[in-house]
Structure 1
Amino acid sequence: MPEPQYTIEPLDPKVHDRSSFRNEEKALESYIQTQARKDAKARASTCFVLTSKSAPEKILGYCTLSNASIDAASIPEELKKQLKLPSYSSIPASLLGRIARDTSAKGTPVGKLLMASLFKRAIRTADEIGSIGIILDPKNDRLVEYYSSYGFKKLSSRQMLLPMDEALGFLTRHYQS
């Protein structure tokens, strides 16, 4: 089996060059360059970066993961029953805050690799602290469609949820490792 050509690890400002990261969305570019390290230091979120083994300093993509909660009232009754949720006012979840790839990585598997890594981390974390699924807030209709392809379901306004069991099922079907 060939050695993977990519590495995904927590952001390390001493190793990873944040200043050269470029993305079509300036807010995603700015976040990795100026805010990600501060959020990690404050333990508000963890930023994971994807680099190539041949250039470990160049960030090809990143994603953030943190704890969150969902207002139980925003979860459709059918989904509450499917997930067998307790009747609490808020339900624990894992938040995919940001995910982005460098413009130089367009057309590569960077996005899919980041999503698979994020799913694995969220599932592992849920086994330790409890989380019914992964939530996110896509910024436009194109992203709603993209995340729907991974199985995310719309909750309220733009918030979406991927139940943890479905994240595990997605990994099992698409990523055997």
Structure 2
Amino acid sequence: MVLEEELAGLMASAQRGDAAAYRALLKACLPVVSAIARAQGVRGEAVDDVVQDTLMTVHRARASYDPARPFMPWLRAITQRRAIDRLRRAGRRPREVNDPLAYEAEVDPGPAPGQGLEARDRAASLARAVASLPEGQRQAVEHLGLRELSLEEAAALTGRSKGALKVNLHRALKALRTSLTREAE
């Protein structure tokens, strides 16, 4: 309760124009704001950012503080809002990892034993199924699906219209789905 009275008194003096009281208020608020930010889940260097944002908000909003009301809830509300804002911003940004050891910790271990064989088996099944398609459907799958050419490029290579390529691709995908499902069973 002593801290509450001290901070409220400093804020009242600061509102009356006492610059020394205002400096003392900001200095006394530092550990309080830091503790509130940590309690909100802010960690590391972000705590300093929340402290700075909070003190800037206190500076801008100091005229709105009512000396008849407790100071700590007013300060806590501002700090909590700045902490939440900081956590939101941190959640939206991709984080850069500049630590080489962190990169090594994230190394992809590669496929699990047997996964490489399964992938080769699936690729071989797909290749057999594509080879068994009628020529128009096979060309549509190869050019549009596998080589990812545009409709215009595939039409120029095959001599077929864009509409015919679309129909052939649709029919080919349906046939492949049926063929590969049967093979998997």
TM-score by length of 1: 0.21
Structure with bigger strand share is: 1
Structure with bigger helix share is: 2
TM-score by length of 2: 0.21
Q: Answer with 1 or 2: which has the greater Rg.
A: 2
